[in-house]
């Protein structure tokens, strides 16, 4: 599961546990025929990618404005906390630990290369 | 540029030209240092991917509901029209034609494999 994350100005620590819980336990994946399971139940690995551009909104003259995001130092801290919270939940899952799945992360504020290979891309948008 | 598309129930043909215009002319890309350009000015190719899961919303019991999307036959038609509208705009751009860039598409309603390689992933959300 690849998670693109951005935080708005008003984002606070309070939301981190709810985000982690939702990401790790929402039944997003189809196992077998119609049986839906969470990433923890699958089990599968998770890659977090900081993606501040998600807060962008169109403004006149065909431009985008990216002012709604929180400051870099704060976004960086919230991002780390979210990754840690998800990693803890994965460590607490016997099934995930036995399968050797992991929570990994991109580096906040840096340009990085990504290579994705998906058999059946599925994208959902979660707002908190 | 990879474009994930879904249409809500109330989507109509009226919105297609506005979507195409916005996608092809919004200055999303950085060329040189601080100079922002559209996909037509870059120029770059476009891949459209039908992604009905984008309309999903969380409901109780850690489930997702995907009821907000339009019917398959209608979404399929809107998707085709959007791809055509963008292809026309690209054909009308001398720079794009000379560069040999193209507009390609996934098949609506089918599971398909995707391989993405991005040097600097950037994600924006556009609603119409």
> Is some CB atom of chain A closer than 8 A to the CB atom of B62?
yes
Residue B39 confidence class, pLDDT cut points 50, 70, 90: very high
> Is some CB atom of chain A closer than 8 A to the CB atom of B127?
no
Q: How far apart are CA A25 and CA B26, in angstroms?
A: 36
Residue A6 confidence class, pLDDT cut points 50, 70, 90: very high
Residue A11: per-residue pLDDT? 95
CATH code, A88: 3.50.80.10
Q: Which residue has the tokens 């990401």?
A: A23
Q: Is residue A43 part of a domain?
A: yes
The 3-state secondary structure of chain A, one letter per residue: CEEEECCECCCCHHHHHHHHHHHHHCCCEEECCCEEECCCCCCCCEEEEECHHHHCEEECCCEEECCCECCHHHHHHHHHHHHHHHHHHHHCCHHHHHHCCCEEECCCCCCCCEEEEECCCCCCCCCC
Residue B98: per-residue pLDDT? 96
Inspect the interface and report whether the beta carbons of A123 and B62 lie closer than 8 Å: no
Q: What is the pTM of this model?
A: 0.93
For residue A32, is pLDDT > 90? no
Both tokens assigned to B100: 């040999």
Q: Is residue A125 part of a domain?
A: no
Residue A127: per-residue pLDDT? 95
* pLDDT 10s digits, B65-79: 999 999 999 999 999
Residue B109 confidence class, pLDDT cut points 50, 70, 90: confident
> Is some CB atom of chain A closer than 8 A to the CB atom of B35?
no
> Is some CB atom of chain B closer than 8 A to the CB atom of A111?
yes
Residue B126 confidence class, pLDDT cut points 50, 70, 90: very high
Q: Is residue A120 part of a domain?
A: no
Inspect the interface and report whether the beta carbons of A116 and B111 lie closer than 8 Å: no
- The interface predicted TM-score (ipTM) is 0.90
Minimal-distance CA residue of chain B relative to A63: B27
Inspect the interface and report whether the beta carbons of A51 and B117 lie closer than 8 Å: no
Residue range A77-98: average pLDDT? 97
Nearest to B64 among A111, A117, A124 (CB): A124
Instruction: With residue B97 as reference, give the H or E element that holds it.
Output: helix B94-99
> Is some CB atom of chain B closer than 8 A to the CB atom of A115?
yes
Q: Is residue A114 part of a domain?
A: no
Residue A110: per-residue pLDDT? 87
Q: Is residue B40 part of a domain?
A: yes
Residue B125: per-residue pLDDT? 96
Burial of residue A12 (CB within 10 Å: 0-12, 13-18, 19+) is exposed
Residue ranges making up the domain that contains A63: 2-105
Q: Is residue B112 part of a domain?
A: no
């Amino acid at each position: 599961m690849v998670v693109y994350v951005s935080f708005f100005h008003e984002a606070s620590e309070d939301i981190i546990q709810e985000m982690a819980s939702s990401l790790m336990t929402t039944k997003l994946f189809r196992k077998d025929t119609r049986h839906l399971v969470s990433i923890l139940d699958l089990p599968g690995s998770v890659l977090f990618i900081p993606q501040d551009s998600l807060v962008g909104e169109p403004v006149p003259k065909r431009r985008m404005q990216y002012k709604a995001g929180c400051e870099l130092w704060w976004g960086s801290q919230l991002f780390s906390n979210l990754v840690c919270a998800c990693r803890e939940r994965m460590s607490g899952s016997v099934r995930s630990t036995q399968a050797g799945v992991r929570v990994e992360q991109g580096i906040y504020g840096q340009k990085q290369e990504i290579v994705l290979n998906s058999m059946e891309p599925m994208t959902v948008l979660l707002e908190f």
